Amino acid sequence: MIALLIAMRPRQWTKNLLVFAGLIFAGKFGDPGAVWLVTALFAAFCLVSTAGYLLNDIIDRAGDVNHPEKRLRPIASGKVSIPAAAAASAVLLVTGFAIPLVMGIPYGVGLLAVYVANQVFYMAIARRVAILDVFVISVGFLVRAVAGAAALRVFISPWLLVCTFLLALFLGFSKRKHEYDLGANARASLSAYTGQLLDQFIMISAAAAALSYSVYAIESHTATAHPMLVLTIPFPIFGIFRYLQLVYKDNGGGNPDQALVKDPWMYGTILLWAALSLYAVSTEGWVSP
């Protein structure tokens, strides 16, 4: 049971926190009904994404056994059998879709279906194609952010969506660099990358993510209504710089989810950014320019 829980990768549920973006930046975090709705959607994405992780590990088992790190995963190491993982994946998938269906979450089932279709496309085709592999993963992050806003029927700034996509590209290419530097041959797309090419992708996506968030915090509709949002800009920029330090100095780009919860500078920056963002979009935090 413990091995199956590890195979479900609960630490990666942090990625699904993106569904709360609409709740925060639309100023709905004081509405218990809205909080409950998005929390249920978060749970649904956790279950469905976990089903995908199990299926992905089943498909990748042959390659993962040759990977210096992934060979230790429960399915690759044989601690969790393929039939058990497949059964768990099916149960999680059905339960995940049942949540928005039962609760009547607007667009919940549809956007979960889009997320699953994106994951299937990744596992069937995109993961073998350099650049496309990271782009498709980033679309999965984008779907999470859109789902949270759609469930509440609130507007989410295109600049925030662009920033989400670019930040996901940054993390994705950083992970590819970590795998490339390890010299592992478990991923087909790695042969089409070079170290220098990945460095360029990382720098471009990092700079673009920082710039797009800055534009969001200054020029978006939300920023116009809540000028204090501009004060949040240094935090994501510092977080990007800190992650670059982890990637290039400590070779820590392989597991972004671990960096977010284990590195005190990273999770401290995220907590401060979240706290200031909540204050900035609250009534008490509003100031006139």
What gap in Å lies between CA 227 and CA 219, rounded to an integer?
9
| Ramachandran bin of 153, using left for φ above 0, alpha for ψ from -120 to 50, beta for the remaining angles | left
CATH topology of domain 1-149: Tetracycline Repressor; domain 2 (1.10.357)
Please say whether the beta carbons of 133 and 122 come within 8 A: yes
What pLDDT was estimated at residue 253? 66
What pLDDT was estimated at residue 159? 94
What pLDDT was estimated at residue 287? 46
Cα separations in angstroms, 259 against 18, 71, 175: 17, 21, 12
Closest to 214 in 3D by CA, of 232, 226, 199, 196: 232
| Ramachandran bin of 106, using left for φ above 0, alpha for ψ from -120 to 50, beta for the remaining angles | beta
What pLDDT was estimated at residue 286? 43
Q: Quote the distance between the C-alpha of residue 220 and its chain's center.
A: 23
What gap in Å lies between CA 269 and CA 19, rounded to an integer?
19
**Three-state DSSP state, 34:** helix
Closest to 187 in 3D by CA, of 78, 56, 41: 56
Q: List the structure tokens of 168.
A: 């996901």
What pLDDT was estimated at residue 285? 45
What gap in Å lies between CA 256 and CA 127, rounded to an integer?
18
**Three-state DSSP state, 24:** helix
Length of the chain: 289
| Ramachandran bin of 104, using left for φ above 0, alpha for ψ from -120 to 50, beta for the remaining angles | left
Please say whether the beta carbons of 202 and 275 come within 8 A: no
Q: List the structure tokens of 15.
A: 């990625």
CA atoms in the 13 A half-sphere facing the CB of 27: 14
Q: List the structure tokens of 58.
A: 């089943």
pLDDT tens, position by position, for the chain (289 residues)?
A: 788 888 888 888 988 999 998 888 887 887 888 999 999 999 999 999 999 999 988 988 877 777 777 777 888 887 888 899 999 999 999 999 999 999 988 899 999 999 999 999 999 999 999 999 999 999 999 999 999 999 988 888 999 999 999 999 999 999 999 888 887 665 778 889 999 999 999 999 999 999 999 999 999 988 988 889 999 999 999 999 999 999 998 877 667 777 777 889 998 999 999 999 988 888 544 444 4
What pLDDT was estimated at residue 45? 96
What pLDDT was estimated at residue 289? 41
Q: Quote the distance between the C-alpha of residue 272 and its chain's center.
A: 19
Amino acid at 101: L
For the chain, give every domain's residue range. Answer: 1-149, 157-289
